């Protein structure tokens, strides 16, 4: 797994993908932080509300090449024959994307530290927002990585990842217009937003934390199964 992780990390920064992703994230976060400062507001939750949408937009871009590039260049067959399990391959790729993602959202810590001397920051709310954003991103990376494993086209992987992210994030809106009680409850249970919102209020519930980890684990498993199916089919 370590070799796969290092390979993926280097690929993010040998090619421009990692730089482009981080530059886009830092520019957008910096823009919202600048608006926050210029408006005389000291509430970091406004920046996190904006970054919630940014994560939705940029996560598919971060993950679109994870699996599809190897499939297109036929280097996946080399990975399949390497002395590493399929789970190790998926884990190496997944954690490389997670590290880049965390480096991106980590800029909010610097923003908070720069703002702290001039405004009182509710650190429980701040860490709740940061934790929620991190967990949502990690779950989204697992989902988008699974989508990337289904195609050799990075464009299709990005569009498919964006559509799936939008769907799971908006499940609560769909539940609001459904009158069938059990189905409505089921959709609320699967909704990212409601669980994310609890964390943004500084409410750390085990069920909310476990949901994001379970969601990521599910699509981690499905990605591994997709690779196993392709290995045995020779595609």
Predicted confidence band of residue 182 (pLDDT cuts 50, 70, 90): confident
Task: Give the residue among 147, 193, 186, 189 at the shortest CA–CA distance from 170.
Answer: 193
Query: Which tokens in the block code for residue 190?
Result: 């699967």
In sequence order, what DSSP letters do the residues of 127-170 get, joined into one string?
Answer: HHHHHHHHHHHHHHHHHHHHHHTT-S-HHHHHHHHHHHHHHHHT
Hey, which of 34-38, 70-74, 208-212 has the most confident mean pLDDT?
Answer: 208-212
Full-model pTM: 0.90
- Would you call 89 exposed, middle or buried from its count of C-beta atoms within 10 A (0-12, 13-18, 19+)? buried
Task: Give the residue among 49, 199, 218 at the shortest CA–CA distance from 139.
Answer: 218
Say whether 171 sits in a helix, a strand or coil: helix
How far apart (Å, rounded) are the C-alpha atoms in residues 159 and 84? 30
How far apart (Å, rounded) are the C-alpha atoms in residues 5 and 99? 10
Task: Give the residue among 113, 126, 122, 91 at the shortest CA–CA distance from 216.
Answer: 91
In this predicted model, what pLDDT tens digit does every residue of 46-86 receive, in sequence order?
889 899 889 988 999 899 888 887 777 777 667 767 677 88
In this predicted model, what pLDDT tens digit does every residue of 113-160 receive, in sequence order?
988 888 888 888 899 999 999 999 999 999 999 999 888 888 999 999
């Amino acid at each position: 797994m370590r070799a796969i992780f290092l390979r993926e990390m280097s690929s993010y920064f040998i090619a421009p993908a990692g730089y482009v992703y981080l530059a886009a994230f830092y520019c957008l976060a910096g823009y919202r932080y600048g608006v926050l400062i210029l408006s005389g507001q000291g509430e970091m939750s406004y920046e996190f509300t904006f970054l919630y949408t940014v994560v939705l937009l940029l996560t598919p871009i971060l993950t679109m090449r994870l699996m599809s590039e190897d499939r297109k260049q036929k280097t996946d067959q080399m990975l399949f024959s390497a002395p590493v399990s399929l789970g190790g391959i998926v884990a190496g790729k997944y954690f490389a994307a997670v590290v880049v993602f965390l480096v991106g959202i980590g800029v909010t810590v610097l923003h908070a530290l720069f703002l702290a001397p001039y405004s009182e920051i509710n650190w429980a709310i701040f860490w709740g927002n940061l934790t929620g954003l991190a967990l949502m991103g990690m779950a989204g990376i697992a989902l988008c990585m699974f989508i990337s494993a289904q195609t050799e086209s990075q464009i299709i992987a990005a569009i498919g990842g964006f559509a799936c992210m939008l769907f799971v994030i908006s499940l609560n809106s769909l539940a609001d217009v459904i009158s069938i009680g059990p189905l409505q409850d089921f959709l609320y249970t699967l909704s990212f937003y409601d669980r994310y919102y609890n964390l943004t209020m500084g409410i750390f519930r085990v069920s909310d934390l476990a949901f994001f980890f379970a969601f990521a684990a599910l699509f981690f498993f499905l990605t591994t199964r997709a690779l196993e199916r392709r290995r045995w089919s020779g595609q």
